[in-house]
Amino acid sequence: MEIMSVVDEEQVRAADAEPDRLEPSAFGLLYEQHRLAVYRYLRARTRNDEDAMDLAALTFERAFAGLGRFRRRDGGVRAWLVRIARNTAIDAHRHHRPTVDLAGVDAHLGRIAVEADRRGGESEDVLDLVTRLPGDLGDTLMLRYAAGLTAREIGVVIGKREGAVQKRIERGLAALREAYA
Amino acid sequence: MSGQDHIEDRLSKAMAFTPSTVAMQSLDERVARMLAAPAARRAPSGMGRLLRPMALAAALALTAGAVAAALSLIDRLAEETSPGWATAWERAEILGIQRTDAGLTLTLERAYVDVNQVMLGIAIDGLDPLQLGDSAYRLSGVTQLTGPGGWTPLPEESNNVARDVAGDESAFIFTFGSPPLTAGMWELSVTSVGYGEGNMTDGSWNFAFELPEPAGTAVTANASDTVGDATLTLTELRVSPSIVVARIRLDVAGTTFAGWSAGTGQDGEVIRHGEATYQINEEGIFEATPQENEYLTLEGAENAAGTWEIVIPELGYTTADGEGVGIVGPWTLTVTVP
């Protein structure tokens, strides 16, 4: 039996150095430090630069309004910001599509069947594949590779435990490897 | 480069979006404008500087290091993972059993068991520090756990783990679900630890310890609710200090399906008990029983007595043909624990 998880020591150290609470006076630095991660995650989700910028602006507005609710034990500043970004994107998606789309639900995440569409650029190819992964696998990969979150931070963002996140990352990567085999 | 490395590299490159200078400048300005109004309203004294947060960023500083590292690595890991883990860690048996082999000292710091999970925390001294880089590193341990009556955990699906690294100190805390419901002796054998294939240290670290009868209450139930053709049935509820777990079966009239999901954390999936409301944060799906899933919280309850209500707002299932079908509820499942 194997226990495993993703660790990035630099990120762990950085999170350890964060304060328990955030002061409004620190928001400028916070924004500069994390705007790229937030933007990249939203850009991956929306596939549209303009939408990503709009949602990023909303994210930081909401973050500033909710500064008093931040607690470091909830996963650190970056996870907190990306969680706000994710909720902002979900809200926007719901606004545009009032009915809940569960067509992608696949309870058996191991039975992922994705075929690579090799037309177009390589980056668009892999992004297409990621967005077509069932359930929250695609989102998990975006949180990992666009926002650069650790499995532990992703767990905070999506409300799952680190081990469950790691399994999702591995299943997502396995599906992509299969698609490119 | 391995296949996985290639895919990870491809993903990293594909998602390394670089906004144009103009676009980022526009975002900076938009954020500054949006911050202006609340800053002016909420903090009239001196907060006007937030109107230009980017220009002043260099002068502002997060109070890095202000929080003293009063807790040990493993204590911090337990406390920060979830409220339920913090409770379990607080109530765990303090063991402090040390074993040294192959240049590594493993300390089984604490162990805990309730009706939902067994938790073990191990500190590792002596692992070489991680080589830093852009890639995520994988820390692995190979373990075998045996409980009273010869119980062994189900493979991987029931396993959760958190870990942390600071210099050459590392710590694992891991859990397994569905532990035996009796007091008795436990044995843990660790045979390999390290950072993944090619970076593992093999050895023999064996621990024996005793744990009391698991805390909490487990009740079988048969509470159903039907919306359209879909019936959800609560078959078991397990309430313990570290977590609440509801086992739920889906039946869809005239349909066989390969699996189903209610999702977690976004659509109001909750468990209510009296005035307390617990968010459902995790879903357990078992290939052997495609009709039944488990829904888990990240915190537990001290007292199981009373009426419990599980609310599932919507769900989706996958037909045998691979088609996804979504259904909107809600389903409300109620059970009273004496």
Cβ distance of A3 and B161 shorter than 8 Å? yes
Predicted confidence at residue B296, as pLDDT, reads 87
B97 in a domain, yes or no? yes
**Could you tell me if B200 and B83 lie in one domain?**
yes
pLDDT tens by residue, chain B, 338 residues: 444 468 888 888 889 888 877 778 788 877 776 665 433 333 322 222 222 222 222 222 222 222 323 567 788 778 877 889 899 999 999 999 999 999 999 999 999 999 999 999 999 988 876 543 322 245 667 788 999 999 998 764 446 667 666 666 788 888 888 899 999 999 999 998 887 667 788 999 999 999 999 999 999 999 999 999 999 999 999 999 999 999 999 999 988 887 788 866 555 788 999 989 998 877 777 767 788 888 888 889 999 999 999 999 888 887 777 677 888 889 999 999 99
Predicted confidence at residue B173, as pLDDT, reads 85
**Could you tell me if B114 and B88 lie in one domain?**
yes
- The count of domains in chain B is 2
Residues 97-136 of A with CB under 8 A from B: 100-111, 113, 122-124, 126-127, 130, 134-135
* Residue of chain A minimizing CA distance to B52: A28
**Could you tell me if B193 and B62 lie in one domain?**
yes
Predicted confidence at residue A131, as pLDDT, reads 85
**Could you tell me if B170 and B135 lie in one domain?**
yes
| Cα distance between residue B137 and residue B195, in whole Å | 7
> Which residues partner with B225 through β-bridges?
B232
**Could you tell me if B89 and B186 lie in one domain?**
yes
Mutation target to probe the A interface, by most A beta carbons within 10 A, among B31, B52, B249 is B31
Domain that holds residue B293: 3-36+216-337
**Could you tell me if B245 and B193 lie in one domain?**
no
**Could you tell me if B221 and B150 lie in one domain?**
no
Q: Is B91 exposed, middle or buried (0-12, 13-18, 19+ CB in 10 A)?
A: middle
**Could you tell me if B66 and B203 lie in one domain?**
yes
**Could you tell me if B122 and B200 lie in one domain?**
yes
**Could you tell me if B14 and B69 lie in one domain?**
no
Q: Taking each helix axis as running N to C, give the angle between helix A77-96 and helix A49-65, from 0 to 180 degrees, rounded to the nearest 10.
A: 120
B44 in a domain, yes or no? no
Residue A145 has pLDDT above 90, yes or no: yes
B53 in a domain, yes or no? no
**Could you tell me if B21 and B131 lie in one domain?**
no
Predicted confidence at residue A146, as pLDDT, reads 94
| Cα distance between residue B191 and residue B201, in whole Å | 8
Query: How do B257-261 and B243-252 pair as beta strands?
Result: unpaired
| Cα distance between residue B142 and residue A2, in whole Å | 5
**Could you tell me if B27 and B151 lie in one domain?**
no
Of B186, B211, B236, which residue is a domain's last? B211
Query: Which residue type, as a one-letter code, is found at position A160?
Result: K
How many Å lie between the alpha carbon of A69 and the closest alpha carbon of chain B?
15
For residue A30, give the 3-state DSSP assignment.
helix
Cβ distance of B136 and A90 shorter than 8 Å? no
Predicted confidence at residue B105, as pLDDT, reads 93
Predicted confidence at residue A13, as pLDDT, reads 45
For residue A100, the chain B residues in CB contact (below 8 A) are: 267, 314, 326, 328
Predicted confidence at residue A19, as pLDDT, reads 60
Q: Residue B320 to residues A111, B223, B259: CA-CA distances in angstroms?
A: 12, 26, 9
Say which of A29, A135, A176 has its CB closest to residue B61: A29
Say which of A19, A104, A135 has its CB closest to residue B63: A19
